Amino acid sequence: MPDQKALFEFNDIHVEVDGKQIVSGVSLKILPGEIHAIMGPNGSGKSSLSNALMGHPDYAIMSGEAFLDGRSILSMSADERSRAGLYLAFQYPLAIPGVTVANFMRAALQAHRGKDADMSDFRKLFKAAMKALLIDPSFATRYLNDGFSGGEKKRIEILQMSMLNPKMALLDETDSGLDIDALKIVSEGINRFHNDSNALLLVTHYQRLLNYVKPHHVHVMIHGRIVKTGGPELALKLEELGYDWVEAEYAQGTGA
């Protein structure tokens, strides 16, 4: 049974990709208003975990359970999970030629509000959201992510998050590919979005995003498992010392 206080909770999640186990029993409980970070080296399974939770077709959840606001989500399709309030900002957002940013955003918001819902406020909201992220208005009529730079794509991911206003946002390597100015803009967007009733899970290799978006809890993931949990100071230690010491500790602990 889900914890009544948790906004998002998953237990003992196992994920396979192409028949290979990538995530081996990960559990986490996130309360409203919290910011969690999962850190880990490349290949630790942290991106696989977030993709699987969103319903990515290449990442199969073999066992475990996940609850958003007390509702079990693993039997839901990706679009149902989204409408239930889950959001994933992708590490590598896809381009969709022929579909403009504005049309895409309108369709997504319409899907969230219901197909007969009034959308007369869309333009205003959309323009304001673009402006807040310093996205040039010309992007509205460009094809989604088609020819966008890495930083532009990440801003569009945050734009979507700010408009769809999910309860629980998973941000997968949102800081990668950003220069320092773009990192600040994106971080400010994330901080504007965050409030007492939603929550964030930042998935990141480096801690530089965490200088701008302050996590309450930091988890270290290695070999498909969360092996260490701490406060913000853990991120700083990882920044200074890398992941080797956690690996060593983990190897000792498992007797490997």
> Does residue number 117 form part of the binding site for other proteins (CB under 8 A)?
no
Say whether residue 74 binds other proteins (CB under 8 A): no
By CB under 8 A, is residue 79 in contact with other proteins? yes
Q: Rounded to an integer, what distance in angstroms lies between the CA atom of residue 34 and that of residue 52?
A: 21
Residue among 2, 40, 64, 93 that touches other proteins (CB under 8 A): 93
CA angle 101, 47, 39 (to 5 degrees): 115
- Degrees (nearest 5) of the Cα angle 147, 150, 151? 115
Site for other proteins in 177-236 (CB under 8 A): none
Do the beta carbons of residue 232 and residue 218 sit within 8 Å?
yes
Can you spell out the DSSP letters for 209-233?
GGGTS--SEEEEEETTEEEEEE-HH
Q: Binding other proteins by CB under 8 A: which of 82, 162, 198, 207?
A: 82
Q: Pick one of 19, 97, 147, 255: the residue that binds other proteins (CB under 8 A).
A: 97
H helical segments located in the chain: 46-54, 78-84, 101-113, 122-132, 150-164, 180-193, 232-241, 244-254
Binding string, residues 126-165; x marks residues near other proteins by CB under 8 A: -----------------x----------------x---x-
Binding test (CB under 8 A) with other proteins, winner from 4, 19, 57, 256: 57
- Angle at CA of residue 23, ends 18 and 29, nearest 5°: 140
Binder of other proteins out of 60, 111, 125, 236 (CB under 8 A): 111
Select the span of 90-98, 172-180, 210-218, 235-243 touching other proteins (CB under 8 A).
90-98
Binding footprint of other proteins on the chain (CB under 8 A): 54-58, 77-79, 81-83, 87-88, 90, 93-94, 96-99, 103-104, 107-108, 111-112, 143, 160, 164
